[in-house]
């Protein structure tokens, strides 16, 4: 269980679904991705591109059509499912609803590959389960029935199950989908600790790009026009992220490290001020579609102070007590 030299290599892989009467429907083609122990990898791509398909194929649920999946040099096809269960654990998007099942029992499923033929848990098994429950922040929930907890709690329980399986590789399909912001960060942090300290290989798919960009070691990016892998910063600098969006309304702001909606600019505004008032006033004006200019000709000049905003136009000057009031005025008069 602690052999941690599991390299994952996807070579010229193409995945998809079998179709009746011959040719398979290939969803992703010619994928060349890899992951090494201790790496946390985020698989990103637009909806429907095939992220789930790829992860499920990697986990051994679906056959693939050409290319190779190698785990430490061994072809995945040649590894029995019992052995795979000790190498990789998987968290899917499926909602598991089993009556009379407690959270403890659900997490305890993770010990399945290690228990005897009846499935009795040893003392060590039980402590692994307890640890996993604690790590996802569900301590105290052990006896609650799985059907009676929230979707987010259930998702964390499923993640705990994967943790309890104690595998060198953990694959997660949108593990933060149902979680609130604080829990999203908790999970990302937890996975990162597992990667860094326990040298596990973590591969997850997510739409929470902002968090991913900051936290993961590597990105696997799947787009219509090609597949890329590299550090998040590589993705930004090489402009790969822009390829994620097909429409022209969204772009990635390399400076801010965020995605934004491209808009038609309504007016040019110059902003003065410092610290937080400046930063957030800029964001507000940006959000509403005003182009921020520094030197060029401007239609308005805004001075952002601690608790008041001055708006100076060619014809007059006004003062407002909140960003909201400033914006409302600009909307009316622009």
Partner 1 sequence: MKESVPHKKLPVPLIFSLLGILFVLLFVADILLGSIIIPVKEVFHSLFSTSETNETYRTIILSFRLPKALTAIMTGAALSLSGLQMQTVFRNPLAGPYVLGISAGASLGVALFVLGFSSVLAAGVFTTGAWPLALVAWAGSFLVMLLVLFVSMKVNDIMTILILGILFTSAVSAIVSILQYFSNESMLKAFIVWTMGSLGNVTKAQLSVLAPAILAGILLAFLKIKDLNAFLLGENYARSLGVSIKSSRIIIFLSTSLLAGTITAFCGPIGFIGIAVPHICRVIFKTANHLILVPAVILTGSIVMLFSDIVSQLPGMQTTLPINSVTALIGIPVIIWMIVKNKKFVSVS
In angstroms, give the least distance from the CB of 58 to partner 1. 11
Helix (H) or strand (E) holding 44: strand 40-45
Between 121 and 292, CB nearer to partner 1? 121
Between 101 and 334, CB nearer to partner 1? 101
Rounded Cα distance between 198 and 4, Å, is 9
123 CB neighbour count, 10 Å cutoff: 7
Rounded Cα distance between 9 and 2, Å, is 20
In angstroms, give the least distance from the CB of 4 to partner 1. 20
Let me know: does 318 contact 301? Beta carbons within 8 Å.
Answer: no
- Mapped onto helix, strand or coil, the DSSP state of residue 110 is helix
Between 145 and 230, CB nearer to partner 1? 145
250-277 in b/e form (b: 16+ CB < 10 A) is eebeeeeeebeeeeeeebebbbebeeeb
In angstroms, give the least distance from the CB of 78 to partner 1. 15
In angstroms, give the least distance from the CB of 63 to partner 1. 10
Between 8 and 85, CB nearer to partner 1? 85
Interface with partner 1 (CB under 8 A): 56, 59-61, 80-86, 88-90, 92, 94, 96-102, 104-105, 108-110, 112-113, 115, 117-119, 121, 126, 129, 142-143, 147, 165
94 CB neighbour count, 10 Å cutoff: 8
Between 146 and 285, CB nearer to partner 1? 146
Between 88 and 136, CB nearer to partner 1? 88
Q: Are strands 300-304 and 317-320 parallel, antiparallel or unpaired?
A: unpaired
Rounded Cα distance between 304 and 46, Å, is 38
Between 81 and 225, CB nearer to partner 1? 81
Rounded Cα distance between 269 and 290, Å, is 7
Burial of 23 (0-12, 13-18, 19+ CB in 10 A): exposed
Facing residues of 60 across strands?
none
Of the candidates 163, 185, 165, 164, the one whose C-alpha atom is nearest the C-alpha of residue 176 is 185
177 CB neighbour count, 10 Å cutoff: 15
In angstroms, give the least distance from the CB of 228 to partner 1. 28
In angstroms, give the least distance from the CB of 102 to partner 1. 4
Let me know: does 17 contact 24? Beta carbons within 8 Å.
Answer: yes
Between 41 and 169, CB nearer to partner 1? 169
């Amino acid at each position: 269980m602690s052999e941690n030299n599991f390299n994952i290599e996807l070579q010229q892989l193409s995945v998809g679904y079998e179709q009746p009467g011959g040719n398979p429907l290939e969803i992703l083609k010619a994928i060349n991705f890899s992951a090494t122990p201790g790496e946390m990898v985020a698989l990103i791509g637009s909806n429907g591109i095939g992220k789930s398909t790829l992860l499920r194929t990697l986990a051994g649920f679906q056959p693939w059509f050409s290319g190779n999946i190698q785990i430490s040099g061994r072809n995945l096809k040649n590894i029995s499912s019992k052995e795979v269960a000790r190498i990789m654990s998987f968290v899917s998007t499926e909602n598991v609803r089993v009556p009379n099942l407690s959270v403890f029992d659900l997490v305890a499923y993770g010990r399945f590959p290690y228990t005897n033929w009846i499935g009795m848990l040893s003392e060590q098994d039980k402590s692994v389960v307890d640890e996993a429950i604690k790590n996802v922040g569900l301590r105290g929930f052990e006896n609650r029935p799985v059907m009676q907890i929230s979707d987010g709690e259930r998702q964390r329980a499923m993640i705990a199950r994967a943790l309890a399986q104690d595998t060198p590789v953990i694959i997660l399909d949108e593990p933060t989908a149902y979680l609130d912001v604080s829990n999203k960060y908790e999970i990302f942090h937890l996975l990162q600790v597992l990667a860094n300290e326990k040298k596990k290989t973590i591969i997850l798919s997510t739409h929470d790009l902002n968090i991913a960009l900051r936290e993961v070691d590597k990105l696997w990016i799947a787009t219509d026009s090609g597949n890329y892998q590299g550090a998040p910063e590589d993705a930004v600098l090489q402009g790969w992220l822009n390829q994620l969006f097909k429409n022209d309304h969204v772009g990635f702001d390399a400076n801010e490290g965020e995605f934004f909606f491209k808009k038609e600019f309504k007016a040019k505004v110059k902003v003065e001020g410092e610290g937080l008032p400046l930063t957030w006033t800029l964001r507000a004006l940006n959000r509403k579609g005003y182009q921020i200019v520094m030197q060029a000709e401007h239609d308005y000049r805004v001075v952002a102070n601690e608790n008041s905003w001055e708006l100076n136009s060619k014809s007059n000057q006004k003062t407002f007590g909140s960003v909201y009031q400033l914006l409302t005025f600009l909307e009316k008069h622009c």
